[in-house]
Amino acid sequence: MASVIGGEAAFIGSLTELIELNWSAVDAFTAALARMSRPGDRSRLASFLSDHEHHLDELADLAQELGAPPIETPIRPKLKSKALTNGVIGDRAILEAMRHYEEDSCAAYERMILSRDGLTERARDVLRSALAVERRHRDWFLEQLDARQGLLLLPL
């Protein structure tokens, strides 16, 4: 997501990009859940999926508060991660693919916060809260990957 400096229309455009990123993450988590072998991992990923769905609600509400028309149908970009659609083998490979989503999410929220001097306090609170959640997700993936050092299998 490129940083866009400007008025409310530009901010709403940036919010739309965050919404798209969260839909992509929802789709990725849904795909990952079906492939994870450990029940504890599936439980954690389900929790992260719920967090992204919550972000979607908050971002849509924020856009509507700023005058954007309500989003009647979700913006559903194509799943960016071929790793999750091409039969990645192994939990570690899935965790690595999901870590990339969380890195992208953290970077997008950070850019949005840093590029906006005129954010309302509510908008800043929503973005900071979501960033904190995304950082926790990313950190969990990093911890899991460190604990599972070894073979990373890629699709055939």
> Residue 88 has what pLDDT?
59
> Residue 5 has what pLDDT?
39
> Residue 1 has what pLDDT?
36
Residue with tokens 């856009």: 63
* Confidence at 7, pLDDT banded by 50, 70, 90: low
pTM of the model: 0.81
C-alpha neighbours within 13 Å on the C-beta side of residue 42: 8
* Confidence at 2, pLDDT banded by 50, 70, 90: very low
Q: Tell me: pLDDT of 127 over 90.
A: yes
* CA pseudo-torsion sign 25, 8, 111, 137: negative
Segment 35-48 mean pLDDT: 94
> Residue 150 has what pLDDT?
62
Percent of the chain with pLDDT over 90: 37
Q: Tell me: pLDDT of 38 over 50.
A: yes
Q: Which has more pLDDT, 108 or 116?
A: 108
Contact 97, 81 (CB under 8 A): yes
Residues 6+ apart with CB under 8 A from 91: 36, 37, 38, 41, 148
> Residue 152 has what pLDDT?
53
Q: Tell me: pLDDT of 13 over 90.
A: no
Q: What's the pLDDT tens digit per position in 44-101?
A: 999 999 999 999 999 988 888 877 765 655 555 555 555 555 555 688 888 988 998 8
